[in-house]
Amino acid sequence: MDFSELTKARQSCRKYDATRAVEEEKLLRILEAGRLSPSACNGQPYHITVCRKESAAAVARAVSGMGMNKFAADVPVFLVLSERPYVASAALGARAKGNDYRSLDIGILAAYLTSAATEEGLSTCILGWFDDGSLRELCSLDAPVRLVIALGYAAADDPLRNKKRKALSELVSYCD
């Protein structure tokens, strides 16, 4: 699959096949893609906690408050992305420029992980609705959780949907 095909195939899955496990070799390739993602000063100010089996069920509960993300109960693997300290040069740059490089780096990481999953034939959903305290306790984390990625195989009856996006002219301008 080339990159153009990948961008058209990747979507936020809302219906997972709870009977189909994610193969270890695919998971490792996805995690390796994340490891190779770019970050400010190559600092990688994040940690990925892989939650499977009983811990996946606990994550599903932590992302399902107030009726949100009902599909999470069928997700076999969650990748919990938490924040880590900057390396010194990125911390200096963040202060000097007033830019939150950690959040940017975690967003790039999520893009790499979800793209690699799509290439492997898996589906993902990036979740920003979760109980941070519950996830920190479950994953033994001492830093904020920033995103959770649901990972698994889409159910057979979960078709590829047409993407609803702004027109390119609304998103892009040129400065020659």
Question: Tell me: the pLDDT tens digits for 135-151?
Answer: 999 999 999 999 999 99
Rg (the chain; Cα; Å): 17
Residue 162's pLDDT is 93
Alpha-carbon separation of residue 58 from 2, 64, 117, 130 (angstroms): 36, 10, 22, 11
| The model's pTM | 0.96
Residue 17's pLDDT is 98
Backbone angles phi, psi at 87, to 5 degrees: -75, 160
Question: Which residues in the chain land under pLDDT 50?
Answer: none
Alpha-carbon separation of residue 97 from 46, 75, 117, 172 (angstroms): 20, 39, 33, 24
Q: What angle do CA 151, 105, 162 make, to 5 degrees?
A: 45
What's the CA gap between 145 and 123, in Å, rounded? 21
Query: Residue 174 CB: number of other CB atoms within 10 A?
Result: 4
On whether the CB atoms of residues 173 and 35 are closer than 8 A, the answer is: no
